[in-house]
Structure formats: structure tokens, C-alpha cells
């Protein structure tokens, strides 16, 4: 079935709905780290604790990460635009120069992130040109009193600030 919705209009209209910015990291079967910037991260369930995101079906990074059965969601702060764009592109060694630490499942935790959600893959389904990946949360943490986060809005990375007053 072919859609009559113009792709440029689709992207423009949906760009008005701000989305979170995270970097999903993991290792392939040989232990090599991979990561991918995701702008479609969502909480799925409290009981059991599940989260979800939608990587493209052609993503080499996601296809490598899924081999291990685990991934880590790194929630970016507003000042981490460099990490956002570094992991947004395929190719290159995205981890070059990054001093990451392993999560409880061995997935990379990036320095300076404002939250970490370590997961095992619960399910993965093809939806259009993306996968809908659901992860079961194993461990999580966040920076106390983080007051800015990164979001995508109208095709740009912008800051969301928590009101202090």
C-alpha cells in the first residue's frame, strides 16, 4: 500500500513534537562497542519495567548491538551535542577518544550522561522501515538535580530546561 502523505510534510509536521535524545549502546558478539543516536525513545511499562525505541532496519550499529541481547540507553544532557552527532552517523569508530565504562551487562556507558538505563532485549518487531525494540530494564540511574536535557524539535537539537521556580 502506497501512502499519499508527502514525506517532507510528514517529517515537518512530526518535527513539531519534541522527542528525547539518547544514545543506545551495546557490543556485538565479539565485544566491540557500537552506538546509535535515537530520537524515538519511550517508556513502555512500569510492571514489568520496559522501555522502547525505533532504530532503522538498515542500521548497521543496531544490527551489531542486538547480537549480544543487551543494550544501554544513555540519556544526553543539553551540553552533549558532540556525542549526539558522533553517534548519529554510520561508519567510523564512534568510540574513538571516548572513555566509556561498562554497564552491568557490559554495554558502554558514555561519560557525562544524565541517565543510564541498562536493558536486555525483550522483543523486536519490524514496523515499516524501523524495528520497534522493547527492552526489559535491568538497572538504571540518573544524575540528581540534572536541570537540562537534549531534545529534537523541528529538526534541531535543542535544550529542555527544568523550571527552578
Rounded to whole angstroms, the Cα distance separating 23 from 5 reads 29
Mean pLDDT of the chain: 92
Cβ count within 10 A of residue 101? 9
- For the chain, domains (ranges, CATH) are 18-158 (2.30.110.10)
**Which parts of the chain are beta strand (E)?**
19-20, 22-27, 33-38, 42-45, 50-53, 70-75, 101-102, 108-109, 115-127, 130-142, 148-153, 156-161
What tens digit of pLDDT does each residue of 72-113 get?
999 999 999 999 999 998 777 899 999 999 999 999 999 999
CA angle at 108 for the pair 102 and 109, rounded to the nearest 5°: 85
Closest CA to 74 of 82, 83, 66, 65: 83
Query: SS3 for 65?
Result: helix
| Higher-scoring residue by pLDDT: 44, 93 | 44
Query: SS3 for 13?
Result: helix
| Residue whose grid cell is 535515537 | 38
* pLDDT number for residue 63: 94
Q: Which phi-psi region, left, alpha or beta, contains residue 31 (left: φ > 0; alpha: ψ -120 to 50)?
A: left
Alpha-helix residue ranges (DSSP H) falling in the chain = 7-14, 60-65, 81-86
Query: SS3 for 133?
Result: strand
pTM summary value: 0.92
Amino acid at each position: 500500500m502506497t501512502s499519499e502523505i508527502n514525506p517532507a510534510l510528514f517529517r515537518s509536521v512530526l518535527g513539531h513534537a519534541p522527542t528525547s535524545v539518547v544514545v543506545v549502546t551495546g557490543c556485538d558478539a565479539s565485544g566491540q562497542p557500537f552506538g546509535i543516536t535515537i530520537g524515538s525513545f519511550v517508556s513502555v511499562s512500569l510492571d514489568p519495567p520496559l522501555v522502547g525505541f525505533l532504530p532503522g532496519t538498515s542500521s548497521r550499529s543496531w544490527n551489531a548491538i542486538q547480537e549480544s541481547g543487551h543494550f544501554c540507553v544513555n540519556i544526553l544532557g543539553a551540553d552533549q551535542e558532540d556525542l549526539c552527532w558522533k553517534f548519529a552517523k554510520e561508519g567510523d569508530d564512534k568510540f574513538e577518544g571516548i572513555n566509556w565504562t561498562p554497564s552491568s551487562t557490559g554495554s558502554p556507558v558514555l561519560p557525562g550522561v544524565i541517565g543510564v538505563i541498562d536493558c536486555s532485549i525483550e522483543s523486536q518487531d519490524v514496523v515499516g522501515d524501523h524495528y520497534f525494540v522493547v527492552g526489559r530494564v535491568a538497572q538504571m540511574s540518573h544524575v540528581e538535580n540534572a536541570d537540562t536535557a537534549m531534545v529534537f524539535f523541528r529538526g534541531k537539537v535543542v535544550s529542555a530546561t527544568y523550571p527552578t521556580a
